Amino acid sequence: AQSVTQPDIHITVSEGASLELRCNYSYGATPYLFWYVQSPGQGLQLLLKYFSGDTLVQGIKGFEAEFKRSQSSFNLRKPSVHWSDAAEYFCAVGGSSNTGKLIFGQGTTLQVKP
Amino acid sequence: GAGVSQTPSNKVTEKGKYVELRCDPISGHTALYWYRQSLGQGPEFLIYFQGTGAADDSGLPNDRFFAVRPEGSVSTLKIQRTERGDSAVYLCASSSGGGYTGELFFGEGSRLTVL
C-alpha cells in the first residue's frame, strides 16, 4: 500500500539558513509526488509537484524538491529561509491517478528563529 | 467566492448528535474531495466526487459518515451519532479536473469537537 513518511516532526532553523525537509514514500509504480504548506488560518497550499521528467522541480516561494527513485525520497529544499516560511509542511503521494486522491505524511512543523 | 468555502468553521457538539458540514467549491470545479485531519496528523482521504456522483468513498470510516453533492457544486458531509473520536478538522478541496491534472485547492476546514 502507498504510504508517506516524514521523519522529522519538528525542525527549527535560523532565518537565512538553508532548509531541507525529508520525505520518503512507498509506492509500487511511478509516483505522483507533492509538497503542501499549511499556515495557521489558511488552507493547504500546493508548493510543487512531480509527475515525470526532470527530477528537480521548482515550486513557489523559492522552494524546490528532488525526486530520487533509488532512495524513494522527495526532499524539499530552500536555500535561504524567511520568517514567513514558518508553517507545517506535508509531503503527499498520489493514491490513484483515476481519482486524484492524495496520501499525506504526518507533516513537519517548521519554526524559524530570528 | 474566489476560494473553497467551508461552514461552519467551528462546530462543538455532544456525543450522539448529528452534524452537517458544508463545502462550497470554486465555481466550475467538477472534482471535490473531503479529507479529515486529526491533531498532529496529515489529512486522510474520505471521499471524492466527480460531478454529482461519489466516484470513490473508500476513505469513509464507517456507515455513520455520508456525503452528498446533489447538484454537482456544494457538498455536505453528514455524520450521524457522533463519537469523541470524530473530533478533527474536516477539509474540503476542489479541482478543475479529475486525477492529478488540475491543482487541488483546499478550504480552511471545519473544526469539529465532540464532547
The pLDDT of residue B1 is above 60: no
In this prediction, residue A30 carries a pLDDT of 75
Grid coordinates belonging to A42: 489558511
In this prediction, residue B100 carries a pLDDT of 79
pLDDT > 90 fraction of chain B, expressed in percent and rounded: 90
In this prediction, residue A68 carries a pLDDT of 94
> What value does the mean pLDDT take over residues A13-17?
97
Q: How far apart are the first and last CA of chain A?
A: 41
In this prediction, residue A39 carries a pLDDT of 92
CA-based nearest distance A95→chain B, Å: 10
**Rounded CA separation A22/A32 (Å):** 16
Higher pLDDT, A28 or B69: B69
The pLDDT of residue A29 is above 80: no
Bridge-based pairing of strands A64-68 and A73-78 is antiparallel
CA-based nearest distance A99→chain B, Å: 5
**Rounded CA separation A20/B109 (Å):** 28
Phi, psi of B4 (to 5 degrees): -80, 130
Place of cell 516560511: A85
Tell me if A97 and B59 make a contact (CB, 8 A cut-off).
no
**Rounded CA separation A69/B23 (Å):** 37
Q: What is the mean pLDDT of chain B?
A: 94
In this prediction, residue A43 carries a pLDDT of 87
Compare CB distances from B99 to A41, A97, A105 and report the shortest one's residue.
A97
Q: Which residues from A are below 8 Å from B105, CB to CB?
A: 43
> What value does the mean pLDDT take over residues B53-74?
95
Tell me if A43 and B4 make a contact (CB, 8 A cut-off).
yes
